[in-house]
């Protein structure tokens, strides 16, 4: 792509640094901003900069938060003895949307991924172990995605917890509610049979 | 979507104003920036702002340009008596990429679209007619997309040119080079038969 303007080229270059945004899409987005009032571009630039420079993290669970302690951790009515380990804020939002969970979270900020140079020390793992050592946590729920990296991270944390008095569990994998068995992948279907639950229990969770 | 941070929410809100970017994608992009060095967010914000505030347009063809006269208009070796009418800079870039065109362009900045409140006065049509009136243009090539809006705009300009001595043409519509006839839509195939060209001519353009 050859541009007739350095300013345009620069804007497209920066925009196409974002994941999933190719150069054509970047050009379309930049030309869209050109047609809109200047206030929109100013607001976008300011919001991104403000977020990046002023973002804070909850000192307890490491979730993104505008206050020292996030709303969930500060909520006295939640069960502080149950902690759900997740990768990032999107997982917190997804679980909160279910309204089925009353415990707290611990946001790792990623998964162990040697290929991308992410080791345990880059993640918020140490602070999780410290919290457990204080003895006030009864259960750790692993809710990382079931990929090689997710499983590795789960196992690493599990090993670190050895000798500490805490229950560990992992979220159930199985056929999605409403899904047809025939379209499920074998691994998921296999797991959902191995980890079957008593029928009476399934009635309760409806 | 409920956010644990106003700063995050604001960034996602602004990002999702862009066309084709939903709130989930916006969140993914903003969280990506959070993981990158601050310099990337600074560069992105600055590039967008600089482009929006300092953008200039060629005073002859209205294309985006950092100089008063764009590189194409300033190029003495191009045929200034042939002018190709296009919607925006993307069309200029697409035609330039073919290396088949040696004339100049005239960028309208849009198409007549009453539904979206775009009338002829919002487009760079008047300056095109003025240019033709100076008598130095021999041919106008219409290269707008063949939609209702494109056809309306072509026809409007065509009417404005009545009585002026200038040849008008429109780019050929037909089956794409390498495409199978059976997969072409009927309108395109019909046009490519109606507007067939002498075989000898097709040899020359290969």
Instruction: Write out pLDDT tens, residues A132-172.
Output: 999 999 999 999 988 899 999 999 999 999 999 999 999 98
Q: Which string of DSSP letters, residue by residue, matches chain A?
A: ---S-HHHHHHHHHHTTSTT--HHHHHHHHHHHHHS-HHHHHHHHHHHHHHHHH-EE-TTT--EESSSS-HHHH-TTSEEEEEEEESSHHHHHHHHHHT---EEEEE-SS--BGGGTB-GGGTTTHHHHHHHHTT---EEEE---SSHHHHHHHHHHHHHTTTS--EEEEPPP-PPTT--GGGS-HHHHHHHHHT---HHHHHHT-
Query: A103 — phi, psi (to 5°)?
Result: -85, -165
Do B131 and B32 share a structural domain?
no
The answer to whether the Cβ–Cβ distance between B41 and A52 falls below 8 Å is yes
| A142 plus A72 within the same structural domain | yes
Residue A69 maps to which CATH number?
Answer: 3.40.1360.10
| Residue B134 pLDDT | 94
Residue B43 lies in a domain: yes
Residue B7 makes CB contacts below 8 A (sequence gap 6+) with A47, A50, A51, A54, A55, A66
- Domain final position from B16, B36, B54: B54
Question: ipTM value of the model?
Answer: 0.84
The answer to whether residues A115 and A78 belong to one domain is yes
In angstroms, the CA B173 to CA B188 distance is 7
Domain of residue B29 covers 6-54
Calpha distance B56→B69 (Å, rounded) = 10
pLDDT at B206: 57
Asked if the structure places residue A34 within a domain, the reply is: yes
The pLDDT of residue B190: 84
pLDDT tens sequence for chain B (206 residues):
788 899 999 999 999 999 999 999 999 999 999 989 999 999 999 999 999 999 999 999 999 999 999 999 999 999 999 999 999 999 999 999 888 899 999 999 999 999 989 999 999 999 999 999 999 999 999 999 889 999 999 999 999 999 999 999 999 888 888 888 888 888 888 888 888 887 777 777 65
In a domain, A41, yes or no: yes
Q: Same structural domain for residues A71 and A166?
A: yes
Q: Is A13 on the interface with B (CB under 8 A)?
A: yes
Instruction: Report phi then psi at A134, rounded to 5.
Output: -70, -15
- Tell me if B81 is assigned to some domain: yes
Cβ of residue B69 closer than 8 Å to a chain A Cβ: no
Q: Is residue A44 part of a domain?
A: yes
Report chain A residues whose CB lies below 8 A from the CB of B10: 47, 50-51
Instruction: Determine which of A19, A32, A47 to mutate to test the interface with B (most B C-beta atoms within 10 Å).
Output: A47
Average pLDDT over residues A58-72: 94
* Beta-carbon separation of A48 and B33 below 8 A: yes
Of A127-131, A175-179, B75-79, which range is least confident? Answer: A175-179
**Domain containing residue A41: CATH number:** 1.10.8.420
Q: Assess whether A74 and A164 both reside in one domain.
A: yes
Size of interface A-B (CB pairs under 8 A): 175
pLDDT grade for A206, boundaries at 50, 70 and 90: low
B105 part of a folded domain: yes
Contact residues, B window 34-53, toward A, CB-based 8 Å cutoff = 34-35, 38, 40-53
Rounded-to-integer distance, Cα B105 and Cα B91, Å: 10
> Are B118 and B42 in a shared domain?
no
What is the predicted pLDDT for the residue at A195? 84
Same domain, B85 and B35: no
Q: Which chain B residue's Cα is nearest to A109?
A: B35
Give the confidence band of A205 by pLDDT, cuts at 50, 70, 90: low
Does residue B104 sit in the same domain as residue B132?
yes
Which residues of chain B does A92 touch, with a Cβ-Cβ cutoff of 8 Å? 4
Is A127 part of a structural domain of the chain?
A: yes
Does residue A136 share a domain with residue A70?
Answer: yes
For residue A41, give both structure tokens. Answer: 């571009």
Q: Quick one: B77 and B149 in the same domain?
A: yes
User: Do both A166 and A76 map to the same domain?
Assistant: yes
Look at B8 and A89 and tell me if their CB atoms are within 8 Å: yes
C-alpha radius of gyration, chain B, whole number: 22
State how many domains chain A has. Answer: 2
B202 falls within a domain: no
Distances (CA, A) of A12 to A16, A26, A168, B23, B87: 6, 5, 47, 21, 19
Residues B49 and B130 in one domain: no
């Amino acid at each position: 792509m050859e541009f007739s303007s350095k300013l345009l080229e620069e804007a497209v270059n920066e925009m196409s640094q974002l994941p999933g945004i190719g150069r054509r899409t970047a050009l379309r987005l930049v030309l869209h901003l050109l047609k809109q009032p200047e206030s929109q571009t100013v607001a976008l630039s300011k919001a991104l900069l403000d977020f990046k420079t002023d973002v804070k993290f909850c000192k307890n669970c490491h979730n993104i938060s505008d206050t020292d302690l996030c709303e969930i951790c500060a909520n006295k009515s939640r069960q502080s003895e149950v902690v759900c380990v997740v990768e990032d804020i999107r997982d917190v939002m997804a679980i909160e949307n279910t309204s089925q969970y009353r415990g707290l979270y611990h946001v790792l900020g990623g998964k162990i991924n040697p290929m991308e140079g992410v080791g345990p020390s880059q993640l918020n793992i140490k602070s999780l172990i410290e919290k457990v050592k204080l003895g006030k946590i009864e259960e750790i729920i692993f809710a990382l995605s079931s990929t090689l990296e997710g499983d590795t991270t789960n196992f690493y944390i599990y090993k670190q917890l050895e000798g500490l008095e805490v229950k560990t569990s992992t979220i159930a994998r199985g056929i999605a509610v409403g899904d047809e068995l025939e379209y499920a992948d074998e691994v998921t279907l296999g797991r959902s049979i191995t980890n079957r639950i008593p029928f009476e229990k399934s009635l309760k969770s409806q």
